[in-house]
A and B are shown apart, each in its own frame.
Chain A
Amino acid sequence: MILEVADLTVSFVTESGDVSAVDGVNLDLDAGEIVGVVGESGCGKSVTAMSLAGLLPRSARVSGSVRLRGTELIGAREPELRRVRGKEIAYIFQEPMTSLNPVLTVGRQIGEVLQEHERLSRKQVRQRAVELLSLVGIPSPANRVDNYPHQLSGGMRQRVMIAMAVACNPTVLVADEPTTALDVTAQAGILDVLRNLRDRLGTSVLIITHDLGVIADIADRVVVMYAGRVVEQAPVVELFAHPHHHYTDGLLKASPTPGRHAGTDRLQEIPGLVPVLTRQPDACTFADRCPAADQKCRGSAPPLTASSGSQAHLAACWHPTRQEAKR
């Protein structure tokens, strides 16, 4: 196992008291595996991603364990974390418009990572930057290397972000909503680049998104998060075919799929909103929005357990859906 996250819990100290963002998340990432983390805004997926390399702001309280090839990262000292960031765990962020520095050339921004983590001469850095740009599919990279971010399109900027992230051949690539700000064509291109990198460099990819289409397209395994907890986890095909948790089921029903909604006019929405929690209750946090909730759901939190059939398919639900009856 390359990356093992165990019982990760994050809360933020705010003026109106503590807010719980992530509660006891367990997550594994194998070499060369692409794992998708999916959930609504505010479910804790980005906070989970940021906490891996200690990138959360000072107001965050983090506990639990994040092990990279066996090395504990939670509570590690800043210089140690700095060696990990960019070199071992690299990030791609959502907004390619604002995530690149507007006043530095893209070549410079890619070169920075190389200079920080590898001993290369100026000439080598530049040459490597050009190689990286061509690796992520940017045409005429030798010219583009001297461009500023505003001279590139959104899709190109996101490719630059990826080039920057993979500059030092990281073990783990964390992509936080890498395609959200892009149009569909650019999206497909970016996902191709990520898949390509995994195939060629063996990088493990953790992709954070709210878009089930992206998950279906690229992920090997899916982790579904809700209100700071992992509610379901399964191989991608299995999850789409047989969701066990009612939240996953709701998510799938809320996304348009050719064929499945034939004859019905509306997509089904999940009633209610994601709760903002000051502390995690001993109950299923989805109970208030769940069609199958009863007293048991409101009285104790369901553990994440393997359900009948597959050991790889885990769900945290007292009353898993019966797919045969629903479909």
Chain B
Amino acid sequence: MPRYLLTRAWHSALTLVLATIVVFLGIRALPGDPALSLAGEDRSPEALAAIRAEYGLDQPMIVQFGRYVERALHGDFGTSIRTGLPVSDMIRTALPVTIELSALAILIATVLGVGAGVVAAVRRGRPAEWVANGLALIGLSVPHFWLGLLAILYLSVATGLFPASGFVPFTEDPIGNLHHIILPAVILGTGLAAIIMRQTRSAMLDSLSADYVRTAKAKGLSPRAVIGRHALRNSLIVVVTIVGLQLGGLISGAVVTESIFGLPGFGKMTIDAVFQRDYPVIQAVILLTATAYIVINFLVDLLYSVIDPRIRVAGEAA
């Protein structure tokens, strides 16, 4: 087990270093001189040279990279051109909103998706499966933004059940916080729920026809134990993979959902930064997203080995 963990951790670290390099070079490969855009009106050679010296742009690439990494490690991503605030502060306020939104969306999607997938597999060829399949089709084909607008129209504006926009931090008012975030989380989770449902259904159909399920039945176990302990546990590996892979999609979905519901999250910050060419912010956002991806993949690998003991052995043999 520790060996498997170490290998995974090492791979993750390596990927993170590569991601950092790519982000750094990517920003520098963009057309245009950052000094020019920073200089504003005063574009005299002296002013530009001063700016280059201030930001270290006159140094060799490798030195610049070293500084960039050093600062990033200290949580210093520079200052936003748009707001004049330190990027790290902006992230610190925006990130918890997005993490809460995504975590809640994943939770909702997993519960709904796995539940509906199991029902669809167990009740194969009966009305329950048709209902589950139909809902999944709707969840997959209806875009978030439209669903979000509908929800605002009918659940917020018309009936006033949920606030249409805005946000209250969890620490200030937990109930108000949930009230604000539950609707966007459901909207964000629908697509993922549909994907999880379809994958769970097909994985369950496979494991329900497996020999060990027949063994479990022959032991006289209750349907609940046969389905839950034997069939579902073996299907979960697929579900975990899907959730892991879909998290990227969830981040982009969060961007749209946050914009619609006016949540002051990471996604909204990103959109604003892109519109304003706020490079320090964009750079930090990309790096953080990449880091999140790598960390999530690492966690997914860890989960695999918890679910399926055979993976521990495979990792140790490698």
Chain A interface residues (CB < 8 Å from chain B): 53, 55, 81-87, 90-91, 93, 95, 98-104, 112-113, 116-117, 148, 150-151, 161, 164
Contact = CB atoms under 8 A, between A and B. Distances in A.
Contact of B214 (A93, A103, A112): A93
With a 10 A CB-CB cut-off, give which of A84, A101, A112, A150 has the most chain B CB atoms. Answer: A101
Contact of B222 (A101, A116, A164): A116
Given A102-B308, A148-B309, A116 B220 contact: yes
A112 B217 CA distance: 11
B229 interface: yes
Contacts, number: 79
Contact of B219 (A95, A98, A104, A112): A112
B234 A86 contact: no
Contacts of B308: 102-103
Given A101-B230, A103-B234, A53 B218 contact: yes
A5 to B, nearest CB: 18
A148 B219 contact: no
A277 B135 CA distance: 42
Query: What does DSSP make chain B's interface, helix, strand, loop or mixed?
Result: helix
Given A102-B234, A103-B307, A150-B309, A95 B211 contact: yes
Nearest to B307: A103
Nearest to B233: A103
A85 B219 contact: yes
A82 B224 CA distance: 12
A85 B310 CA distance: 29
Interface residues of B, number: 22
A55 B213 CA distance: 11
Given A93-B214, A95-B211, A103 B309 contact: yes
B310 A113 contact: no
B215 interface: yes
A89 to B, nearest CB: 8
Given A148-B309, A150-B309, A102 B218 contact: no
With a 10 A CB-CB cut-off, give which of A84, A99, A151 has the most chain B CB atoms. Answer: A99
Interface string B245-281: 0000000000000000000000000000000000000
Ranked nearest first, the 3 interchain pairs of A and B with the lowest CB-CB distance are A85-B220, A86-B220, A98-B211
Contacts of B212: 98-102
A91 B215 contact: yes
B30 to A, nearest CB: 48
Contacts of B233: 101, 103-104
B161 interface: no
B265 to A, nearest CB: 37
A53 to B, nearest CB: 7
Nearest to B209: A57
B216 A101 contact: yes
A86 B218 contact: yes
Contacts of A81: 220
Nearest to A83: B220
A177 B233 CA distance: 27
A282 B274 CA distance: 82
Given A112-B225, A148-B310, A150-B313, A99 B211 contact: yes
Interface string B218-246: 11111001000110011000000000000
A52 B225 CA distance: 22
With a 10 A CB-CB cut-off, give which of A55, A91, A103 has the most chain B CB atoms. Answer: A103
A132 B124 CA distance: 37
B234 A101 contact: yes
Contact of B215 (A83, A100, A103, A150): A100
With a 10 A CB-CB cut-off, give which of B218, B229, B233 has the most chain A CB atoms. Answer: B218
15 contacts: A82-B220, A85-B220, A99-B211, A99-B214, A101-B234, A102-B309, A102-B310, A103-B309, A104-B229, A112-B221, A112-B229, A116-B221, A150-B309, A150-B310, A164-B219
A8 B214 CA distance: 21
Nearest to B125: A58
Contacts of B214: 55, 93, 99
Contact of A82 (B210, B222, B234): B222
Given A103-B233, A112-B225, A148-B309, A85 B218 contact: yes
Interface in B179-227: 210-212, 214-222, 225
B318 to A, nearest CB: 16
A40 B290 CA distance: 59
A227 B220 CA distance: 30
A3 B68 CA distance: 80
Nearest to B306: A103
B1 to A, nearest CB: 13
B231 to A, nearest CB: 9
B315 to A, nearest CB: 13
